[in-house]
Amino acid sequence: RVTKEVDSTSKEAKSFLKQQEKWQSAPPASLPTGSGVKRPSGMSSLLGKITAKKQKMSTLEKSKLDWENFKEEEGIVEELAIHNRGKDGYIERKAFLERVDHRQFEIERDIRLSRMKP
């Protein structure tokens, strides 16, 4: 069993709440009365619960949950956020490289266009 904490305003939380409302608002199925009704015996219902298919979790989802739990246990959430915002952060470096690549493309494009016009 995996527990997952999400922000109450996230899409996932909203979809979960809607699903819970559907389960609660659904009218209970009427039980037929009479001698022709078979009730599952204790052993077969128990086996049915055991062999029921469980929702599978992908490797990426499991890794993400493990990483989130590790960050919380070690108390490094804030430290990682500060580090990633800084000059040496991964996100900042990727943004810088993207800006450089875009500028280089514009320069090369201007050179190509100037050579085409006599």
pLDDT, tens digit, 9 for 90 and up, residues 21-40: 877 776 555 555 555 555 55
Residues 81 and 95 in one domain: no
Residues 106 and 96 in one domain: yes
Residues 78 and 92 in one domain: no
Measured CA to CA in angstroms, residue 46 lies from 40, 50, 51, 53, 55 at distances of 9, 6, 9, 14, 18
Domain containing residue 111: 87-117
Cβ(35)–Cβ(42) below 8 Å: no
Asked whether residue 36 is domain-assigned, the answer is no
pLDDT per residue as tens digits for the range 55-101: 788 899 899 999 999 998 988 888 888 777 766 777 788 889 999 99
Asked whether residue 70 is domain-assigned, the answer is yes
pTM over 0.85: no
Residues 97 and 108 in one domain: yes
Six token digits for residue 102: 């875009």
For the chain, what is the domain count? 2
